[in-house]
Structure 1
Amino acid sequence: MVEDARFEDGGERPLHLKALDAEDLGVFSALIQDAVVPVAEISYDAGKRRFAMLLNRFRWEDVEAAQARGRAVERVQTVLLFDDVIKARSMGVDGRDTDTIVSVLSLAFVAGEDGTGRVDITLAGDGAIALDVETIDATLKDVTRPYAAPSHKVPTHEV
């Protein structure tokens, strides 16, 4: 008998995922919510049509296991990469201020014509990054071992 993968199945292994449609981006959005990233670790290469961010991702998939075992909640450095990016622009983010750290709230896709569209990366504090894409072609990959979250707390949001 074949079973679907469960969210808990990824708790102990590094992520290496591919997004090819809006539904996949929704999964990425949930996984990178509350990630923090120095502005210096955000780049766009127009020649290669590639946008990348090196995130310090909160490991949402591991929270229950960490709490059940009495160990610290964790973060991990993760690359978020978009290919086939036609144009990248930002609001509320000064690329020259490389000491600034931003927090990712969500990813969303706004469809255009013939498979094109825009990926919106919403940041805390009214910041945003918009990527005009030819198609959704994104990768999310953990690139370090998890480490104890410096705050030792699960991120929370006021409603």
Structure 2
Amino acid sequence: MTDLKLIALDAEDLDVLSAHVQDAVVRVADMGYARADRRFALLMNRYDWETAKGRDKGLRKRAALHFDAVQSVVTNGFDPASPEGVLNLLALTFHPVDGPAGIIELSFAGGGTVRLGVECLEARLADLGAAWAASAKPAHVLD
């Protein structure tokens, strides 16, 4: 089993990262903004959709995701001061604003969001090696 290492430099690349982190579980305490470094980072237990093909459950993998050139961070729909809070990451999207600058939105189940104002899109996703059997395969009700 190979560890995933991906970089996103445009909206299409971010769509690929989004597919790999769909249904990742993130503790609020494992997200943070390093203002001096202009980096927003989070640790997650991502659901490995590749190993789930043809299986009932699949695997979860520990992974890190970070965004560079971050100028601002705005959270909504959850308490960022709640260290025990747990969020289910649904999607990553990029909304261009001016040239390469824009807003990266992390959308969570239940309506929570993190919006990152960035000079340009630069994101990295990397598995950290740990993997274990998932307790269930994520499923969503479609309207």
**Is the TM-score greater than 0.5?**
yes
TM-score, length-scaled by structure 1: 0.86
TM-score, length-scaled by structure 2: 0.95
1:155 is matched with which residue? Answer: 138
Whole-Å Cα distance in 2 between the matches of residues 139 and 13 of structure 1? Answer: 16
Residue correspondences, number: 142
CA apart distance, 1:114: 1.7
CA apart distance, 1:73: 1.3
1:4 is matched with which residue? Answer: none
Higher strand share: 2
1:118 corresponds to 2:107: no
2:42 is matched with which residue? Answer: 53
Whole-Å Cα distance in 1 between the matches of residues 64 and 122 of structure 2? Answer: 14
Whole-Å Cα distance in 2 between the matches of residues 64 and 158 of structure 1? Answer: 19
CA displacement 1:43-84 (0-9 Å, x = unmatched):
00111100001010000011126x2xx8x5110010010000
Identity %: 38
2:129 is matched with which residue? Answer: 144
The CA RMSD over aligned residues, in Å, is 1.2
Whole-Å Cα distance in 2 between the matches of residues 36 and 75 of structure 1? Answer: 9
Where do 4+ consecutive residues of structure 1 move more than 4 Å? none
1:13 corresponds to 2:29: no
Whole-Å Cα distance in 2 between the matches of residues 115 and 37 of structure 1? Answer: 28
1:29 is matched with which residue? Answer: 18
1:91 corresponds to 2:76: yes
Correspondence for 2:53 among 59, 64, 69? 64
SS of residue in 1 equivalent to 2:130 = coil
Q: Which has the greater radius of gyration?
A: 1
